[in-house]
Structure 1
Amino acid sequence: MTRNLDFICMYKVPYFWDRFNISHMKTNPIRLLPGFVLSVLLCQTWEMGYTRQFPARPPNIIFIMADDHAYQAISAYGSTLIKTPNIDRIAREGALMSNGFVTNSVCSPSRAVILTGKYSHINGLRDNGTYFNGAQQTLPKILKENGYRTAIVGKWHLWSEPTGFDYWNILPAQGHYYNPPFIKMGKDTCYKGYVTDIITDLALQWIDSNRGQPFFLMLHHKAPHRNCMPPLKYLHQFDEVKFPLPATFNDSYKNRPALQRQQISVAHDLDLRYDTKIPCDTCAVTTINSWAPAEWQREIERLTPAERRQWDSAYALEYEQFKNIHDPAALVKFQFQRYLEDYLRCVLSVDDNVGRVLQYLDEHGLSENTIVIYTSDQGFYLGEHGLYDKRFMYNESFRSPMVVRYPAKIRPKQQVSQFTLNLDIAPTLLDYAGIAIPADMQGASMRPLLEKGKTPNWRNEIYYHYYELSFGLTRHYGIYTGRYKLIHFYDPIDAWELYDLKKDKLEINNLYNDPRYLKAVKALKERLRSLQKFYKDEVNW
């Protein structure tokens, strides 16, 4: 009853008054008067007889992050590939960030940005091979200093030991899908089961022991990261589905030399055993790399004998299909189909476990005053431009999903269209916790967007900088304005790309050398320079 009246007084009375106000008059005011009067009387009666239920303490925070979860594989974002009812529930009961992006689309750097609220060149972690300096200021340290219990469970992937956490139980490096080893507070341990379930089990056990005071939990899933090994219960999911190739799957890469040299294509760079799970050590296939045979062996040997029999039975069906393929083009389509099947099977398990967290909060009366964020460390290609993986500043990699629920403060069914970044997560959570945001954090609190739908002077352009050279990639930085995207690839090649997204949403036509866009290029370069100066990223063009 109290929560319902809180909703009426917070939202319905202002709504009726706004509609009744003569400056907004769109209907006969007499028709709205009964609703307005009833709402006012209810609120007056309530305020005399009830105490309004504002949160008695700072909010609990559960930050759930998957690894490589594309927005194209979340039904709240309009996916036709899969249904994700539990992730969708967070969006439905809170807010969906429809223009969320990352500053550097690769795993370790993204995690460092989230922890620090600072770009890669400031926090010191530019690529996946760099050691994170845990001595610096981080979100969990600040929360812990202000009375929060803090924990991280799951994928860490920052090479150094976690700091700022009362409890940590993390996967070593990339971790494993089956019967995985963990490092619990510095000590090696191992758990039986599937990694996504285990991470959730450990997270809920920790909440159970710490919900007597405000808590901050980073719940980091390994899935659906390559090589996408599904839970055994979903081995046959999507067997009967034929996924269409994305519109840009056969992209020619014309006038884009950085794409021409990449090594993350479905057609040439997925491995037959590691990615497609075809048990074939002697197949005479020249179009598929024989990549990391030892890695594949280490993964499959983690299964128990009973699990291995179930696994072999399921993938024997895939092998039978493979043996009948003789056309190279058909083989590429087969690879794509297998890639999506296993990727989406892993996503189903992630969504199931998000549901377990939400159910736990409901059952223990924690939902109202707990912020739940679901996101990914970056976007991911599901065959767009013929690619898997991430890294490039093209939309599928650069754009990342983010949904946020906090019933005490955030109204349901919101869609935030402003440009948001993983850079903004730390400032936002500190703001909601009632803690001053450090001046050296480079992000901004999303709270005004989440509660009011807008805020003055919010960013209208985004700066991006990617540093890795692995997989044939090229270092690059760029600016995104909504209408235009300008990218400078600078190492080991030197090339510029410009996309007019109003005319070319799929990012196919590089217009950098088109004389009709000379003024646009000049203006964008000036704005790009300004962003680099603002974020203190000294780059030699």
Structure 2
Amino acid sequence: MNNHTTANYNKPYPAGFNATDFLVDPGTYIYYNATMQSNQDPPRNLPGEYSTDVVASRAVDFMTQAAKSGSPFFLTVAPVGPHGETCSAIRHKDLYQDAKVPRGTNFNPDTIVNASSYFKTLPIWNQTVIEYYDEFYRLRLASLRAVDDLVDTVVGKVDELDIMETTYIIYTSDNGFHIGQHRLPAGKSCAIEEDINVPFFIRGPSVPKNLTVKYPTSHTDIAPTLFDLAGIPLRDDFDGVPMPIRDDAKQVRSQEHVNVEFWGSNIPEGKFGPSLMATTNNNTYKTLRLISDDFSFNLLYIVWCRNERELYDSNADPGQINNVAIDFHARAYTDLNYPEEMTTRKIGGFYADDVQYRLDALLLVLKTCKGNTCVQPWKVLHPDGTVNSLKDAMSRDYQCFYRGQPNIEFGGCVQGYIQELEGPGSADVIIWDASWEKTPIMQIYGCEDRT
């Protein structure tokens, strides 16, 4: 547990569990000399023992104890691999000798044109840097192999205890990771797909075999999913909904969006990290990831703390390298003469700037949402219930309405969450009513109907 240390482990003891054995600082990320603290015992060092293997062993111990009780139990198993020093278990040190960072379209690009000024400052990698991070990547894979062993151990114990038919097993992560995408040194704190797309696998009673659900979900959906699987009524203050993973219930997809935000610096990893990062103070952002029911919209929309904007059509541009966003400040609202390149930019059959105005308004609601507002944000903008998706919002009737909304604005780039710098939120949105269809504001904002 980060910031749970040998000095404060008992001030107070962690609550909420019947039994615990935590990796604690300063040994949390030291693979062969980890420090752990169990229940109310003093911390202990584990020289010569590989921490991922120790965590696997303790998980088995806990399961054995829990299964003997005959009561339902919940167990969290959290190894640190492949964090930190990327140290593999000795038995895995020579694996993956030919592995290299995947060379996708966004790996160490020759030119960065339309991205934020922050990304544009990143230098192109030379061969020395590329070779170093290829080895960094290989070491991460090797350290992750012990996590594979952990999964085998845990699942095997579930089977041995004869509780497989009544047990749900979930495998997930806290974040993704980038190495070289958009020229970024190793790290994890950006809004790009490599960082925010994480695995979520589940097996257990009523979960269909080999089913892949391509819906946007987030950590806010995990608790509602667990409640639903356990037959517990959902709480009104949940910011998420159960994931549609069961075959014994008629679950329907109820949202198309994921809201992501980050306050602070993108901390680079590896020996070349600091020199590759010209600045680390511009990484605060608000982000919307949206995938429509029919996948005609597959979008990433980012508003950076410098109030720069990025919009990517991930169907056409999976590497997220062709930013089609407009600058709300550079383009005068009264300008009815759209630049030629703007008239040719389309997403899902709609003009990209029209899509962007809708996304900005939706993110305006989501960035300060609570409870059902997070699940059904369109109802804040359209209380009459006529709009429940981006496709609904793209109606021509709403051209002026969305161009008249306040835009998301940051008050500055800072190293932590400062509410005063949030800018407009859901309380500031304009609510739809039919008078917008004929309002003179069309002439003010230049929102004529373009076909």
Q: Structures share a fold, TM > 0.5?
A: yes
- Note closer, same or farther for the CA distance 1:193–1:266 as it changes in structure 2 (3 Å cut): farther
- Note closer, same or farther for the CA distance 1:360–1:423 as it changes in structure 2 (3 Å cut): same
**1:131-530 correspondence to structure 2 within 5 Å:** 161-173=13-25, 174-186=28-40, 187-191=42-46, 192-211=48-67, 212=69, 213-241=71-99, 245-251=103-109, 252-255=111-114, 256-260=116-120, 267=125, 329-387=126-184, 388-406=186-204, 408-446=205-243, 448-451=244-247, 455-456=251-252, 458-471=254-267, 472=280, 473-482=282-291, 483-490=298-305, 493-513=306-326, 515-516=342-343, 517-530=352-365
3-state SS, counterpart of residue 525 of structure 1: helix
3-state SS, counterpart of residue 506 of structure 1: coil
User: What is the RMSD of the two structures over their aligned residues, measured on CA atoms?
Assistant: 2.7
**Distance (whole Å) between structure 2 residues aligned to residue 160 and residue 522 of structure 1:** 48
Gaps of 5+ in 1: 1-107, 109-127, 132-156, 268-328
**Distance (whole Å) between structure 2 residues aligned to residue 357 and residue 425 of structure 1:** 21
**Distance (whole Å) between structure 2 residues aligned to residue 160 and residue 440 of structure 1:** 28
- Note closer, same or farther for the CA distance 1:436–1:399 as it changes in structure 2 (3 Å cut): same
Q: Please state which structure has a larger fraction of its residues in helix.
A: 1
Per-residue deviation at 1:459?
0.5
- Note closer, same or farther for the CA distance 1:494–1:525 as it changes in structure 2 (3 Å cut): closer
Per-residue deviation at 1:342?
0.3
> Which residue identity does 1:428 align to in structure 2?
T
Per-residue deviation at 1:351?
0.5
3-state SS, counterpart of residue 287 of structure 2: strand
**Distance (whole Å) between structure 2 residues aligned to residue 453 and residue 209 of structure 1:** 33
Per-residue deviation at 1:241?
4.5
**Distance (whole Å) between structure 2 residues aligned to residue 422 and residue 478 of structure 1:** 15
3-state SS, counterpart of residue 260 of structure 2: strand
Per-residue deviation at 1:349?
1.0
- Note closer, same or farther for the CA distance 1:160–1:337 as it changes in structure 2 (3 Å cut): farther
Contact 1:246 1:383 in 2 (8 A): no
Per-residue deviation at 1:340?
1.3
3-state SS, counterpart of residue 352 of structure 1: helix
Counterpart residue number, 2:391? none
3-state SS, counterpart of residue 362 of structure 2: helix
Contact 2:190 2:266 in 1 (8 A): no
**Distance (whole Å) between structure 1 residues aligned to residue 57 and residue 190 of structure 2:** 34
3-state SS, counterpart of residue 43 of structure 2: strand
Counterpart residue number, 1:48? none
> Which residue identity does 1:179 align to in structure 2?
N
**1:1-16 correspondence to structure 2 within 5 Å:** none
**Distance (whole Å) between structure 2 residues aligned to residue 519 and residue 242 of structure 1:** 40
Question: What are the Cα deviations for residues 40-94 of structure 1, in whole angstroms up to 9, with x where unaligned?
Answer: xxxxxxxxxxxxxxxxxxxxxxxxxxxxxxxxxxxxxxxxxxxxxxxxxxxxxxx
Gaps of 5+ in 2: 268-279, 292-297, 327-340, 344-351, 375-418, 425-451
**Distance (whole Å) between structure 2 residues aligned to residue 198 and residue 470 of structure 1:** 30
1:540 to 406, 420, 423: 423
Per-residue deviation at 1:452?
5.7
Contact 1:266 1:336 in 2 (8 A): no
3-state SS, counterpart of residue 485 of structure 1: strand
**Distance (whole Å) between structure 2 residues aligned to residue 351 and residue 196 of structure 1:** 10
Question: What are the Cα deviations for residues 424-471 of structure 1, in whole angstroms up to 9, with x where unaligned?
Answer: 11121122223333221212122x433369633511122111112353
> Which residue identity does 2:304 align to in structure 1?
F
> Which residue identity does 1:420 align to in structure 2?
T
- Note closer, same or farther for the CA distance 1:330–1:534 as it changes in structure 2 (3 Å cut): closer
Question: What are the Cα deviations for residues 118-145 of structure 1, in whole angstroms up to 9, with x where unaligned?
Answer: xxxxxxxxxx88x9xxxxxxxxxxxxxx
3-state SS, counterpart of residue 409 of structure 1: coil
3-state SS, counterpart of residue 423 of structure 1: helix
- Note closer, same or farther for the CA distance 1:249–1:528 as it changes in structure 2 (3 Å cut): same
Identity of aligned residues (%): 24
